[in-house]
């Protein structure tokens, strides 16, 4: 564990197993310097236990950076529920996961991620109060965070095309969206309303058909979507799609999407920059959902206030793009350095007050 390349000085990693319900889960807490570690729980079928561990560690670290850059009173954490042979979802399994979350006494705040639903989160909430993404009352923050994530990505795309293409807005631009689940679908809606021409792909053909019918998108093969002759590529599925093999095949001038951990390695940010492709660091552009989660958890901002905070994602990215240009550094390196400074400063202040 300590030698895992994604470990990065995590504060705590909890392995959760319950034979009665079939639950196998991992909760990773990267940092609590800025507040309780917050991040969603993902349900996925991994090729191996090692792959699950690597994924949850990378996601947890990414949440630390995401929350820091969004200016939230949250540290970074993440959880995965592992789909293994014979796995069967059930209320009992999700309730048991909630009990494991509760043992951490608020050090980790869970929320909805890939493979989860608002209904599942409500089941988890029967066993712990350290859960967000629950149905919201009118005007209050809360509920499905996906539309807020999509709105933040849309703001980020606007900032990126302005910086790289000199365009105000996406009207007439060609945008390829990889993954049209909750975030991708809502992003397509925003893009279509703003006049973009859409190309979409997903492992679920029903999702693709829905996007085509609702937004006039063109369906493309999953293996081709990243490499379309478009202005913008928006990865909105799983991570590590930008790597040594895929980057030379990209034809877009902007990569800006909602997926986590889009870069397979940090060096891939340099590869994008060297190719003349502007990359919007994923944990900055996709911060809208966690902003909604934070406002729900602390209860100090209403839904309109959430949207105002999400709108700040665009200017935040513009600042990163400009600093990257000035320093001659890839955008991911600039963003990482900013996030680490924020976390380190909070950690020092926390230590001095204890």
Query: Which residues have CB under 8 Å from 95's CB, separation 6+?
Result: 123, 124, 126, 127
User: DSSP 3-state assignment of 185?
Assistant: helix
| CA contacts within 13 A on the Cβ side of 192 | 18
> Exactly one of 66, 78, 140, 148 is catalytic; which is it?
78
Nearest to 161 by CA among 249, 260, 253: 253
Strand ranges (E), the chain: 12-18, 23-31, 37-38, 41-44, 75-82, 108-109, 174-178, 197-201, 218-219, 232-235, 254-255, 278-279
Count CB atoms within 10 A of the CB of residue 315: 10
Q: Is 140 a catalytic residue?
A: no
Distance of alpha carbon 101 from alpha carbon 107, whole angstroms: 9
Q: List active site positions.
A: 78
């Amino acid at each position: 564990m300590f030698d895992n390349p994604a470990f990065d000085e995590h504060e705590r990693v909890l392995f959760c197993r319950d034979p009665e319900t079939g639950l196998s889960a991992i909760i990773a807490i990267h940092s609590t310097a800025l507040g309780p570690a917050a991040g969603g729980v993902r349900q996925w079928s991994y090729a191996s236990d090692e792959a699950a561990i690597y994924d949850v560690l990378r996601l947890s670290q990414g949440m630390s950076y995401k929350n820091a850059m969004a200016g939230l009173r949250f540290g970074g954490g993440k959880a995965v529920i592992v789909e293994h042979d014979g796995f069967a979802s059930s209320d009992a399994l999700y309730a048991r996961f909630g009990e494991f979350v509760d043992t951490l006494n608020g050090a980790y705040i869970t929320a909805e991620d890939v493979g989860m639903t608002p209904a599942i989160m409500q089941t988890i909430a029967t066993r712990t109060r350290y859960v967000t993404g629950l149905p919201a009352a009118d005007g209050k923050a809360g509920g499905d965070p996906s539309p807020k994530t999509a709105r933040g990505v849309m703001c980020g795309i606007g900032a990126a095309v302005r910086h790289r293409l000199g365009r105000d807005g996406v009207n007439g631009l060609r945008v390829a969206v990889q993954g049209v689940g909750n975030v991708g679908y809502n992003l397509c809606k925003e893009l279509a309303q703003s006049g973009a021409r859409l190309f979409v792909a997903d492992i679920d053909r029903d999702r693709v058909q829905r996007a085509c019918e609702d937004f006039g998108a063109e369906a493309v093969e999953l293996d081709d979507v990243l490499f379309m002759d478009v202005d913008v590529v928006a990865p909105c599925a799983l991570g590590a799609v930008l790597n040594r093999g895929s980057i030379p095949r990209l034809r877009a001038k902007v990569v800006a999407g909602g997926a986590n951990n889009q870069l397979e390695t940090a060096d891939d940010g340099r590869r994008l920059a060297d190719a003349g492709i502007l990359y919007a660091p994923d944990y900055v552009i996709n911060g809208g959902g966690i902003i909604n989660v934070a406002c729900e958890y602390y209860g100090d901002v209403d839904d309109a206030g959430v949207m105002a905070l999400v709108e700040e994602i665009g200017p935040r990215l513009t600042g990163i793009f400009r600093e990257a240009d000035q320093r001659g550094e890839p955008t991911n390196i600039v963003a990482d350095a900013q996030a680490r400074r924020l976390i380190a400063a909070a950690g020092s202040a926390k230590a001095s007050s204890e």
